Amino acid sequence: MHPGHFFLALVLTKFACALSPTVVHEKRVDHPSLIHSRRLEAHVAVPLRIGLKQQNTGHLPLHLLSVSDPQSPHFGQHWSAEKVAQVFAPANESRDAVAAWLVGAGFDKERLRMSHNKAWVHVDNATVDEVEALLGTEYHVYNHHESGEEHAACDSYSLPAHIAHHVEIITPTVQLNIKLGSSSTRCSKRSKRTGPAPVFPLHVPAGCDQAFTPACIHSLYNVTYVPKATDRNSFGIVSQAPATYLQSDLDTFFANFTPSLVGKSPLFVSIDGGIVEAVNGTDVGEDGWILQYTMSLVEPQPVTMLQVGTLITGNFLSFNEWLDAVDGLYCTSNGGDDLTYDPQFPNLPIGDFQEHSCGTVKPPLVISNSRADFEYRLSPFYTARQCNEFAKLGLMGVTVLFSAGNAGAAGTTRGYCLDDNGSVNLNATHFNPGWPGGCPWITSVGGTQVKANASGLASTTGVAQEEVWNQDMTHGFFVSSSGGFSNRFPMPQYQRAAVNSFLEKLKKTNPEQLRHFNPGGRAYPDISANANNFVTVENGVFSLDSGTSGAAPTVASLITLVNDARLAVGKSPVGFINPTIYSPNFARAFNDVVSGTSQGCKGWQGDRGGGFQAGPGWDAASGVGTPNLGLLIEKWLALP
C-alpha cells in the first residue's frame, strides 16, 4: 500500500454541519441480460472511490477545437500532458468539501486517502452498510443470464446538494459494464471459409467484394505512400486479453501479402496484466486480423499492441483501463495497490494485479479500438467523464478511433432498441446508440462493402465503389454498419452543416424515421471503410472476417501515414480529425458512399428496413465516406 495524503489540513466545521437536501447523482437502467439474485451482504467491503469534479472541463470543446479546427490560428498547436493535467485538475475546495462530508458522516479521517493525482478520494475498508447509509442506496447482486457471472450494483444513489457539484462519479455504484451478447462488444463477425483454402495470389483488386486483401485497400483507397518518419511516429491498437495473436499466423499472412514483414511482431505494451501468450480459450482471430492489416498498411512503421489484461474483469468491457494507462490524472488508483476499475466486486481480489497501469504509457499518436459499448448502459456522469478524457487526448495531438459497431441503428445485432423509459427490449422502437460513438470527441468508423463486380480501382469520380455494409446472419438478426444519434451529447458544431443537410433530406424522403432517434444529438459514424470479407489467417487457416473491427484499424493506419507525411516535413500530427474531415475543403478527399442501408430495430423496421440510408454527402450509415489517402495527404500537408 502507498499511503496517500490524509486530510488533516482542512477546516471541517465549515461543511460538516451544513444540512442540505440530497439529490440523485447517478442512476442506471434495467438490462435484459441481468437476473436479480439478492441484496449484497452488509459486511462486504466496498472499495469506495469518489472522483472529484475536474476544473475547466466546460472549456474543453473550445480548447480542443482551437487546436484541431483547420480554420483556427492555433491548428496543430497541441498541449503538453503537463498542461492538460494542470488545467483540469480538481480544486482543493472540492477535495476539502468531500472530505468534510465523509468525516461528518462518521468516516474517521484516518480512513481517507487522496490518490496521487489528486483526482480521487479513497475510503479504506468501507462496508456495504456504511456506503448504503452514506449514499442513500441499496446494493444488489445480479447474475448475467448467459455467463452466470455475478455483478453488484445499486440502482441509483444520492448526494447532499452542496456536495454533488464537487463530485463527478463514485465507484462502485451504478456501473455494470456487462456484455449483452458476444457480438455486441466486439465489432467483428467470423465466417469461416469452408472448402479448400484460397489459392494465392488472389485475383485482386477485382474480387474485393469476395476476398478483401491489403491490395484492395491500396487500390480502393489510393494508398501508395511509403513512411519516412517512423522514428517520430507511433501507432497503437488496443487489445483485450486473453485475445492475442499467433506469430505463425502473422507470418503466413505476411508471406502471401507483405513478404518484407515475415518474422516481424508488433511492439508490445502490457496494461493491467495484459499478456501476449495465447492461453486456453484465447481468441487469436481478431487481434491477428487487425495486426495483419495494420502492420501491412503502415510498414515499415512499427505497430504497438496495447494489451489490456482482463483476467479479473472477465466479460467486462471498459475503455478506462487503457485510458488510465495513458493518463495518470484520469486513473483512480495510487498505482500498484488495488484494482480500481469500474465494476469490481463483490469479492474483489484486491492485489491480484501486481501493478495497476496508471500513467505508464505514452499515448501513441493514433489509437485504434475495435470494440464498442452502448450509451444507455453507462451513467451520464460516466460517459461525460470518459468523453472528456478522449477530448484531452485530442488536445495532446492523439487521434482516437473506434469501430462504430455492427448493429445498424439498433443497438444490438438482434435488433434490441430503447423504450420510452430507456430500457431495451425487442419491441422497442427508439434507435439505440452505441458508445463511444456518441462522444463528439472521438472518430467513429462505420463499415462498407465493395459492390459486386466492382473494379476495385480507386474512384476517379469521388463516388465510392462501396455501399453500406449489411449482411444477413444465420443466427441472430443481422449485421450492418452502426450509426445514429446520441441521446446525451448534443451535435457538435463541426458536423452541423453536414448532418443538418442529411436531416433535411430525411424530412422529405422518410419523415417517419425522424421519430425514432434524437435529431439534435451527436451523429456518427464520422468516416467509414470496408468491413466485409477480409482475408485473414487464424490458427493456420485462411478465413474471412467481417465487421467494423476491420474498418477502424484500416482508417487508423491511413491516418498514421498522414501523420508520417506531416512529421516528415516538421509539422504536427493531425490529432483530433473530425473538424478537418467534415470541412468542405476535404469533401473531395473521400469516396462518397451513396448506396445501401443499415438495419433498424426489430420492433420498428419501417418500409425501408428502418435503418439509415446512405446518400450523397454525410449520412448516418457511412459518415463522410471512405478515404482517398493520396488526396488526404495533399490536403493535410497544405494545412499549417
Binding residues for Ca(2+): 592-593, 617, 619
Residue 444: exposure state from Cβ atoms within 10 A (0-12, 13-18, ≥19) = buried
Do you know the residue count of the chain? 640
Bridge partners (DSSP) of residue 521 are 490
CA dihedral 257, 262, 267, 271 (to 10 degrees): 80
Which residue number, 271 or 581, has a Cβ lying nearer to ligand NAG? 581
CB 479 within 8 Å of CB 188: no
Q: Is 333 or 536 the residue whose CB approaches ligand NAG more closely?
A: 333
Binders of ligand NAG among residues 145 to 174 (CB under 6 A) are none
**Total residues at the site for ligand NAG (CB under 6 A)?**
21
- State the helix-helix crossing angle for 247-257 and 285-298, rounded to 10 degrees: 40
Nearer to ligand NAG, 431 or 576 (CB): 431
Question: Which burial class, exposed, middle or buried, applies to 106 when counting CB atoms under 10 A from its CB (0-12, 13-18, 19+)?
Answer: exposed
CA 353 distance to own-chain centroid: 23
How far apart are alpha carbons 293 and 556 in whole angstroms?
11
Collapsed DSSP state (helix, strand, coil) of residue 317: coil
**Residue among 247 and 425 whose Cβ is closer to ligand NAG:** 425
CA 5, distance to chain mean position in Å, is 33
Which of 125, 182, 248, 347 binds ligand NAG (CB under 6 A)? It is: 125
Does residue 568 bind ligand NAG (CB under 6 A)? Answer: no
Q: Give least dist CB 268 to ligand NAG, A.
A: 21
Nearer to ligand NAG, 280 or 354 (CB): 280
Residue 374 cell numbers, joined: 452502448
56 touches ligand NAG by CB under 6 A: no
426 binds ligand NAG (CB under 6 A): yes
* Separation between Cα atoms, residue 84 and residue 102, nearest integer Å: 29
Q: How many CA atoms lie within 13 A of 482 on its CB side?
A: 41
Closest CA to 135 of 170, 90, 109: 170
Q: In angstroms, give the least distance from the CB of 92 to ligand NAG.
A: 4
CB nearer to ligand NAG: give 278 or 473.
Answer: 278
Contact region for ligand NAG (CB under 6 A) — 149-157, 199-207, 541-549, 623-631?
623-631
Among 188, 252, 403, 628, binds ligand NAG (CB under 6 A): 628
When the beta carbons of 354 and 421 are compared against ligand NAG, the nearer one is 421
User: From the CB of 348, what's the least distance to ligand NAG, in Å?
Assistant: 13
Among 427, 493, 509, 585, binds ligand NAG (CB under 6 A): 427
Shortest Å, Cβ 267 to ligand NAG:
26
Q: Which of 204, 458, 614, 624 binds ligand NAG (CB under 6 A)?
A: 458
Residue in 148, 421, 474, 638 binding ligand NAG, rule: CB under 6 A: 421
C-alpha span between 67 and 396 (Å, rounded): 9
Hey, which residues does 121 pair with through a beta bridge? 50, 114
DSSP assignment string, 519-531: TTEEEE--EEEE-
Query: E strands, 186-345, where?
Result: 189-191, 235-240, 267-271, 304-308
Residue with cell 472528456: 388
Roughly what angle, to the nearest 10 degrees, separates helices 629-638 and 548-568? 40
Give the C-alpha distances (Å, rounded to integers) separating 327 from 116, 333, 365, 508. Answer: 12, 12, 14, 46
Which one of the spans 294-302, 336-344, 405-413, 624-632 is the region binding ligand NAG (CB under 6 A)? 624-632
Residue 365 amino acid letter: L
| Residue of 62, 117, 51, 116 lying closest to 85 (CA atoms) | 117
User: Is residue 452 a contact residue for ligand NAG (CB under 6 A)?
Assistant: yes
Min dist. Cβ of residue 81 to ligand NAG (A) = 20
461 binds ligand NAG (CB under 6 A): no
Q: Is 191 in the site for ligand NAG (CB under 6 A)?
A: no
CB of 559 to ligand NAG, least distance (A): 16
Residues 216-275 that bind ligand NAG (CB under 6 A): 222
Residue with CB nearest ligand NAG? 630
Choice from 247, 360, 423, 572 touching ligand NAG (CB under 6 A): 423
Calpha distance 538→630 (Å, rounded) = 31
Pick 161 or 279: Cβ nearer ligand NAG: 279
Nearer to ligand NAG, 271 or 562 (CB): 562
Which residues are at the interface with ligand NAG (CB under 6 A)? 30, 92, 111, 124-125, 222, 280, 419, 421, 423, 425-427, 452-453, 458, 460, 628, 630-631, 634
